[in-house]
A and B are shown apart, each in its own frame.
Chain A
Amino acid sequence: ETGVTQSPTHLIKTRGQQVTLRCSSQSGHNTVSWYQQALGQGPQFIFQYYREEENGRGNFPPRFSGLQFPNYSSELNVNALELDDSALYLCASSERQNYGYTFGSGTRLTVV
């Protein structure tokens, strides 16, 4: 198993900028989800992609958007960054049928 890999591991951005985070799913997994984990909190669901289409969305504004590519890798894009967007962003992949979620190590985003 190759696991879920995320890049970059750390990122510092200025308020108002845009950021793109990347995720490579575990081999054989066709579903990818993104979560935001603020300090001292559990992960919060942002959205999920299945076969390149958004399959569910949490309570996040439209400036959070994503893509899933034919090889099942994924991107999370955040526009017009706000200070409160500072968090650990986690990617998780799964086979649709068995709910086995594998998480990556995350990207730590700091907005200044």
Chain B
Amino acid sequence: AQSVSQHNHHVILSEAASLELGCNYSYGGTVNLFWYVQYPGQHLQLLLKYFSGDPLVKGIKGFEAEFIKSKFSFNLRKPSVQWSDTAEYFCAVNAGGSNYKLTFGKGTLLTVNP
């Protein structure tokens, strides 16, 4: 069964700091990978996704993620965070094929102080 681990439960940064959130998954086959964000009081929104091709994926709001197959990782990065990036971030994996189930990590709460 597939599983997703997010290393940090809560990350606190100051504005303009760089961000990297870790995500590792366990599944030996082809995967599709996602990062979702949940701003306070809002629904889950897709930040970016990886299906195939270039392992460096660019998403919305200046976020990017790198798929490293050998490390089963899909870490999320942003060079300079803003106060408005305060939210909960979820990594998710889908094993592809006809199974469209998304398996989520437990999430990382990011707090950006002005």
Contacts and interface: CB of A to CB of B under 8 A. Distances in A.
Nearest to B96: A99
A33 B99 contact: no
B49 to A, nearest CB: 7
Contact of B106 (A4, A41, A45, A96): A41
Interface in B20-78: 32, 34, 36, 42-46, 49, 51
29 contacts: A31-B100, A33-B100, A33-B101, A33-B102, A35-B104, A40-B106, A41-B106, A41-B107, A42-B92, A42-B104, A42-B105, A42-B106, A43-B90, A45-B103, A48-B101, A55-B98, A56-B100, A90-B44, A92-B102, A94-B100, A99-B51, A100-B46, A100-B49, A101-B34, A101-B46, A102-B46, A103-B43, A105-B42, A105-B43
Interface of A: 4, 31, 33, 35, 40-45, 48, 55-56, 58, 90, 92, 94, 96, 99-106
